[in-house]
Amino acid sequence: MTTFTGSSGDLSRPKLEYGLATRGLSLWYDQFKALDDVTISVKTGLITSLIGPSGCGKTTLLRCFNRINERYGNVTVKGEVTVMGKNIYDPDVSLIELRKTVGMVFQRPNPLPISVYENVVFGLRLHSESSALKRSLLDAAVEKALTEVGLWNDLKDHLDRKATTLQLEQQQKLCVARLLPLKPEIILLDEPCSALDVNGTRAIEELMFSLKGRYTMLIVTHNMAQARRVGDECIFMLLGRVIEHGRTEDIFLNPRDPRTAEYIEGRYG
């Protein structure tokens, strides 16, 4: 069984150049072809932005990397999807382990309606034998995760507080913190700032910058300014196909395809 055990910060493990990749990937919902022959390679440790008009396949592509699309039924996939060099459609792949390695943050914050503390340790409790989880280990995991996302100082004296009562920005940061004890390699973000105000958006972007290098991040965004600010690389999609993929600076200042230029300039989408 493939474990996809996370090893962020483990210098003894060779670092792959590409954390995520697809080759000839096509996906259908019933008869509708949502992705058409998508081939990309996403560099390890960087932030890559996925841009394009609504309905172009961005979120579908994002969800291919943890196979969440298959939950919706009537989904057909052809081609190859690799995470850390492993084809996730190989028969020996454990979906549970895959989704520990590939964490996901959604458009709206979705903390569980339990305490801040229990949100952070939820995954550990779910994936470990309870006898192996000493309180000291859980306490350390909570402090480490909340420190990484910049919440520890604000919440260390309020760990029993119900998570759904936090500010939206704090809730979204908590959703990231909830992933970290499972030691993911990849963090997928599906428009993580769409429900936030300007200050909240800035805070989440600063969080992404602080995590860069330790995690490979792929973010779907409709905000061109955000894509340009946070993305080391950028992928432009249209009608289920990848039109252009390159350094963000090149995509925005010197796009190779006229369709990319038209979208970035706001002529459609």
> Residue 72's pLDDT band (boundaries 50, 70, 90)?
confident
- The answer to whether residue 237 sits within a structural domain is yes
Percent of the chain scored above 90 by pLDDT? 87
Please count the structural domains in the chain: 1
pLDDT computed for residue 9 by the predictor:
38
pLDDT at 61 over 80: yes
Q: How far is CA 30 from CA 55, 72, 96, 229, in A?
A: 16, 11, 25, 37
Mean pLDDT of the chain: 92
Range of the domain at 87: 18-109+186-264
> Residue 247's pLDDT band (boundaries 50, 70, 90)?
very high
Q: Is 113 exposed, middle or buried (0-12, 13-18, 19+ CB in 10 A)?
A: exposed
User: Using H for helix, E for strand and C for coil, what is the string for the chain?
Assistant: CECCCCCCCCCCCCCCCEEEEEEEEEEEECCEEEEEEEEEEEECCCEEEEECCCCCCHHHHHHHCCCHHHHHCCEEEEEEEEECCEECCCCCECHHHHHHHEEEECCCCCCCCCEHHHHHHHHHHHHCCHHHCCHHHHHHHHHHHHHHCCCHHHHCCCCCCEHHHCCHHHHHHHHHHHHHHHCCCEEEEECCCCCCCHHHHHHHHHHHHHHECCEEEEEECCCHHHHHHHCCEEEEEECCEEEEEEEHHHHHHCCCCHHHHHHHCCCCC
Give the pLDDT confidence of 116-173 residue by residue, as tens digits: 999 999 998 888 776 668 899 999 999 999 999 999 999 999 999 999 999 999 999 9
> Residue 11's pLDDT band (boundaries 50, 70, 90)?
very low
- The answer to whether residue 8 sits within a structural domain is no
pLDDT at 12 over 80: no
- The answer to whether residue 256 sits within a structural domain is yes
- The answer to whether residue 121 sits within a structural domain is no
- The answer to whether residue 136 sits within a structural domain is no
Using an 8 Å Cβ cutoff, are 49 and 227 in contact? yes
Single-letter residue type at 107? Q
Which residue reads 């000839």 in tokens? 24
Q: What CATH number is associated with residue 65?
A: 3.40.50.300
- The answer to whether residue 36 sits within a structural domain is yes
- The answer to whether residue 39 sits within a structural domain is yes
pLDDT at 96 over 60: yes
- The answer to whether residue 27 sits within a structural domain is yes
